[in-house]
Amino acid sequence: LSPGLLVVAGSFAAFRLLNRGLERLVPPPPSARRNRWKWRNIWTSLAHSVLSGGGALAGFYLHPEMSNDLVGTHPPGAHSLVAVSVGYFIEDFVDMLCNQKLHQSWELLFHHSVVIICFGIAVLLHQYVGFALVALLVEINSVFLHLRQILLMANLVHTACYRLNSLINLGTYVVFRIATLAWMTRWLFLNRQNVPPAAYAVGTAGMAIMTPMNIVLFYRLLRSDFCK
């Protein structure tokens, strides 16, 4: 097995163990005890977002040369971070498949399938790791998305903490999610001559799927938190 696949497998196991032990680390409040699985799932997702989003930001800060070549240049840590994320997305896919009805989770299952394919290519080929790391900047916003869900489950909607998180969530959504995906789409278009047709097709399809999904989610957040 390649080292990348071993990291994926180790990440899957680690996030699975974390998920199982989270009720002891972060006991659910009374309002969340009806849906203990969801409580554990969100906290696991939050842990991944902090790790991957912070790691991606640190990667570009410590290795600015990587931004000049998103295809072939990457430090070993960047490749490992992408592999860790593949392991997490597989774990979350399995977790949702086992604990949630398909009509409730099909959007996220579809999203995870696209990410696993795209990131998996980067891990196996040791190519486009920098591009995958750009995609992981989206997880900076996911930190606040998951915090929003935690506050909702804890019945803390009418608090200053929830309001502040909503504002930060919306701001980081525009910067790290919409703007990042737009930049990635532009990069693919400008570098189409340097990307093999198969990889270009996968990347273009991924962007075509992710962009409308994120616009719809932005509309839902705006309507829910600011347009009532």
User: For the chain, where are the alpha helices, taking DSSP H only?
Assistant: 3-25, 36-62, 76-99, 102-125, 129-136, 138-153, 160-172, 179-190, 197-225
pLDDT in tens, the chain (228 residues): 688 999 999 999 999 999 999 888 999 999 998 899 999 999 999 999 999 999 999 999 999 888 888 888 888 899 999 999 999 999 999 999 999 888 888 888 999 999 999 999 999 999 999 999 999 999 999 999 999 999 999 999 999 999 999 999 999 999 999 999 999 999 999 988 888 888 889 889 888 888 888 999 999 999 988 886
Domain assignments of the chain as residue spans, ordered by start: 3-227
The residues, ordered by sequence, that sit 6+ positions from 82 with a Cβ below 8 Å of its Cβ are 119, 122, 123, 129, 132, 133, 136
Interval 136-150: pLDDT, tens: 999 999 999 999 999
Question: Quick one: tokens of 50?
Answer: 């902090």
Closest CA to 84 of 134, 131, 34, 47: 47
Mean pLDDT, the chain, integer: 92
Q: What is the pLDDT of residues 173-205, one digit of tens each?
A: 999 999 999 999 999 999 888 888 888 898 898
Note the pTM of the prediction, 2 decimals. 0.92
